[in-house]
Amino acid sequence: MGSIAGQWPYPGSHVYGASKAFVKQFSYNLRCDLQGTGVRVTDLSPGIAETEFTLVRTKGNQEASDNLYRGTTPLSAEDIAEQMFYIATLPEHININRVEVMPTRQAWSPFAIDRD
């Protein structure tokens, strides 16, 4: 699983962003290595998503995690799962190389999130 953090910088994400940039490049190279095998490789890179990972980022601080999402509507795990399902159920001759998906209230500048 990729992340838009692997493509677009934002404050405090140097290690996380670098690891996700690796995932992106790894998926591209893996796709080249698997050419002709019929194996499909996709880098699915979501934007802000309300998942348990936020608790890891905030060292278990539920209030800090909740504040990240306050006043906006992040992607849900179900939103991401729907994207994965769509990609996996395409006809065998189709490979989606990369999908970058964000909530409508998120954009770059840097990673501006519109809040109420």
- Would you give per-residue pLDDT tens digits along the chain (116 residues)? 999 999 988 778 889 999 999 999 999 999 999 999 999 999 999 999 998 888 888 899 999 999 989 999 999 999 999 999 999 999 999 999 999 999 999 887 666 677 78
Domain range enclosing 32: 4-101
* Distance, CA of 22 to CA of 10 (rounded, Å): 16
> In this structure, is residue 107 part of a structural domain?
no
- pLDDT for residue 22: 98
> In this structure, is residue 55 part of a structural domain?
yes
> In this structure, is residue 113 part of a structural domain?
no
**Which residues have a catalytic role annotated?**
16
- pLDDT for residue 12: 80
Sorted by sequence, the CB contacts under 8 Å of residue 106 that are 6+ apart come out as 47, 48, 72, 74, 112, 113, 114
Counting the structural domains of the chain, the total is 1
> In this structure, is residue 37 part of a structural domain?
yes
- Per the CB < 8 A criterion, the answer to whether 41 and 95 are in contact is yes
Q: Identify residue 12 by its one-letter amino acid code.
A: G
Residue position matching structure tokens 């399902």: 85
pTM for the full model? 0.84
As a dihedral over the C-alpha atoms of residue 42, residue 57, residue 81, residue 74, rounded to 10 degrees, the angle is -110
Q: Any idea what DSSP says for residue 31?
A: H
- pLDDT for residue 54: 86
> In this structure, is residue 115 part of a structural domain?
no
> In this structure, is residue 38 part of a structural domain?
yes
- pLDDT for residue 109: 63
Which CATH number characterizes residue 88's domain?
A: 3.40.50.720
> In this structure, is residue 114 part of a structural domain?
no
> In this structure, is residue 65 part of a structural domain?
yes
